[in-house]
Structure 1
Amino acid sequence: MSHELITMGRISVDVYPQDIGVGLEDVETFGKYLGGSPTNVAVAAARYGRRAAVITRTGDDPFGEFLRSELRRYNVAEQWASPVRGLPTPVTFCAIRPPEDFPLYFYGRSPTAPDWEIRQDEVDVAAVAEAGIFWTTVTGLARPTSRQAQVAAHQARPREALAEGQHTVLDLDYRPMFWESAQQAREQIERILPQITVAVGNREECAVAVGDGSADEQADRLLEAGVRLAVVKLGSEGVMAATPERRVISAPVPMETVNGLGAGDSFGGALCHGLLSGWDLEQVLDFANAAGAHVASRIACSEAMPASQEVQALLRAHGRRVPQEVAS
C-alpha cells in the first residue's frame, strides 16, 4: 500500500520546559518529545488517519531508539529512519515565553547531523514517486549529502507526471544558523523550485526564496517559478494561498498562545490532509489555521497534534465551515 504522505528531513529530541515565562537558564523541569519539522508534519497527518512516513536518520544511540519508538506510537512508518554511527541524535531546547518569544537552541547539528546524512542510494524513489504528497524542507538542502538525496527524490516525481491529487511540497523553513548566507539558501531554492507544486512559508521565508515585497508579490514570483499553489503565512493576519486562478485569505483562529513553535507543523499536516481530501482551498486553509491554533495553545508539538474532531470543534466554535469528508 502506497503512502499518502512522505516527508523527508529533520528529526530531533525536543526538550521543552514545563516552566512557562522564564528564560532557559531558570527552567527546572523539562519534557522530552519527538521533534523536527518534517517529522512533526508526518505525525500531524497521521493523527487524521493518513498513511504517513518520514525519510530521516538518527544517531545510533538511546535517543535515536526513543525517536523510532515515538514514530511507531504515532503510527508514522519508520522504516526509513535509519541510524548513523558516530553522530549523536540532535537535541533541541527552547524557552517558552508567550505570546511571541520562543527561542530555539539546536545541539548536535554542527558541523552535521544524522538527518543531513540521508544518502541518495537509500531513498526509496519508487515509494516517493507513488506518494500522494511528498514534503521536503529548505533545511534539508543545507548540506551536500541530504541535498543530493532530496534532489534525487524530487526528480523521481517529475511535476508534469504527477497524477491528479498528487502534490510535491517545499516548506520554505529558512533557519539562518544552518546556512552561510541567505543568498546561499536562495540559490538552492531556485534550483529545486522547478520540481515543486506547493510552496509554504511565512513572509520572511518567502523573502529568502523569491525576494522581499508584499505577500501578493511574493506569491506572484513563486507562481512564476512554476509553483501551482503558493501559501504565504501572514502572522496575525492569517494566511494567503494563491493559484494562477484565484487567491484566498483565511483569518486566524483566535487562541491564547502558549508555545508557537509547533503551530506551523500542525498547519502543514492539516494542509496535507485537506489537499489529499480534495477540499475547497478556503476549507483547507481554515482547517489548517485551526489545527495550528490548537497546537499553539499547548506546550508540546508532536504530542499536541489534534485529531479531526478537535479541529472540527474549534472551527464550529468560531463560526467556520467544517469540511464534510474528514478522515477518522
Structure 2
Amino acid sequence: MSHDLLTMGRISVDIYPNDIGVPLSEVTSFGKYLGGSPSNVAVAAAKYGRRTAVLTRTGDDPFGEYLHTELRRYGVDDSMVSPVAGLQTPATFCAIMPPEDFPLYFYGRFPTAPDWKITPEEIDTAAVRDAAVFWSTVTGLAQSPAREAQLHAHAARPRDGLAEGQHTVLDLDYRPMFWDSATEATEQVRKNLAYASIAIGNREECAVAVGDASPEEQADRLLEAGVSTAVVKMGAQGVMARTATETVVSAPLPVETVNGLGAGDSFGGAFVHGLLSGWPLQNVLDFANAAGAIVASRIACSEDMPLEQDVMALLDERGRGFQA
C-alpha cells in the first residue's frame, strides 16, 4: 500500500508538565506523549484520515515500545520504525509558561540519538518513491549516517520525476543545538533543496537555508533554489505561500496560547491534508494556520492534534470558512 504521507526523522517521548506557568524545577506531575516533529506531522495527518507512516528509529527499550504503541493507536504505520541496540529512546521535557516561554530540554540525543542512526541501506526506496507526500526535516541532516540516508531517500524521488499530485517537502526545522555551525546546516539544506518541491520554515529557518532577507525575498530565493512552493511563517504577520504564479497570505488566528510547541507540526499535517484534497492554495494555508492555532491553545502535541471539523469550526467562527 502506498502512503498518502511518509515522514522521516525525529521521534521521541514528550514529557510535558501538568503544572502550567511554573519553571520545570517546580513541576510536580507530567504527562507522557509521542513526540518528534516529523512523527507529530504524521499523527496530525492521520487525524484527517490520511494513510501515514514514519521512517525512524528508537532505542531498544520500553520507551521505544511505547512509541510503537502510540503510532499504531493513532493509525500511523510503524513498520519502518526499528530499534537501535545500545541507545536509549530520547525524551523531551519542556516547561509551559504561556504565552511565549516554552523552553525545551532534550535528553538522550547527545552525543547521538537512534533516529540519527538511520542508514541508506535500510531505506525502503519503493515506499519513499510511491508516497504521495514525502516529508523530511533539517534536524535529520545534523548527523551521519542519517544525513546520507535522507539524501538517498530524496534521490528515490527526484524533483523532476514526481508524478502529478506528488510532493516532496523539506521542513526547514533548524535547531542550533543539534549542529556544529549554521554554515554546516546551510550546506546540508542546499543539497536537499535540490530534491524538494515544497519548503516550509519560519524566518530564522529560511535564513539558514537562503540567507536573511524579507519574507518575500526569502520565498523568491527558495523558488530560485528549485522548489515550486515556498512557505514562510512570519510570526505576528501570519504565513505566506508563494509559487511562480501566486502569492497568498494567511493572517494570524489569535487564540489563548497554552503551549506553542506543537503548532508547527499541526500546521504541517494540515498543510499535507489540504494539498492532497486539491484545495486552492489560500484554503490550504488558512486550514493549516487554523490547525496550528488550535494546538497552540492545548497542552500536548500529538494527542491534541485536531480533527477536520475542529479546524473548519474555527475558520467559520473567524469568518474565513470555505467549502471543502
**TM-score, with normalisation over the residues of structure 1?**
0.98
Question: Which stretch of the first structure deviates more once superposed, 157-166 or 66-75?
Answer: 157-166
Query: Counterpart of 2:185 in structure 1: which amino acid?
Result: A
- The residue aligned with 1:246 is 246
Quote the residue 2:48 is aligned against.
48
Task: Return the alpha-carbon distance in structure 1 between the equivalents of residues 252 and 133 of structure 2.
Answer: 25
SS in structure 1 of the partner of residue 312 of structure 2? helix
Match of 2:57 in 1: 57
**Equivalent residue runs for 1:1-328 within 5 Å:** 1-324=1-324
Distance 1:323 1:293 in 2: 20
Which segments of structure 1 move beyond 3 Å, counting only runs of 4 or more?
Answer: none
1:148-201: CA deviation from partner (whole Å, max 9, x where unpaired):
110010000011111111100000010000001111100001111110100000
In the alignment, residue 310 of structure 1 is paired with which amino acid?
A: D
Q: Distance in 2 between matches of 1:322 and 1:89?
A: 42
Kept in 2, the 8 Å contact 1:22–1:96? The answer is yes
The residue type equivalent to 2:123 in the other structure is V
Kept in 2, the 8 Å contact 1:58–1:114? The answer is yes
Distance apart, 1:321 and its partner CA:
2.3
Tell me the number of residue pairs that the alignment of Structure 1 and Structure 2 aligns: 324
Deviations 1:203-227 (A, max 9, x none): 0000111000100010011000001
Contact 1:196–1:227, Cα closer than 8 Å, also in 2: yes
Q: How much is the aligned-residue C-alpha RMSD, in angstroms?
A: 0.6
In structure 2, runs of 5+ residues without a counterpart are none
Look up the equivalent residue of 1:247 and give its one-letter code: T
Give, in whole Å, the separation in 1 of the partners of 2:107 and 2:183: 24
Answer whether contact 1:17 1:31 (CA < 8 A) is retained: yes
Q: Which amino acid aligns with 2:50?
A: R
- CA contact under 8 A between 1:283 and 1:323: conserved in structure 2? no
Residues of 1 paired with 2:2 and 2:54: CA distance? 13
Specify the SS of the correspondent of 2:199.
strand
* SS class of match (1:195): coil
Give, in angstroms, the shift of residue 144 of structure 1.
Answer: 1.2
| Secondary structure of residue in 2 paired with 1:144 | coil
Matches of 1:181 and 1:119 in 2, distance apart? 23
Q: Distance in 2 between matches of 1:159 and 1:220?
A: 18
SS of the aligned residue for 1:165 comes to coil
Distance 1:52 1:190 in 2: 27
Residue 34 of structure 1 aligns to a residue whose secondary structure is strand
Gaps of at least 5 residues in structure 1 are: none
The separation in 2 between residues aligned to 1:83 and 1:51, in whole angstroms, is: 23
Aligned equivalents of 2:26, 2:62: Cα separation in 1: 27
What TM-score, normalized by structure 2, do the two folds share? 0.99
Counterpart amino acid of 1:226? G
Deviations 1:23-63 (A, max 9, x none): 11111110000000000000000000000000000000000
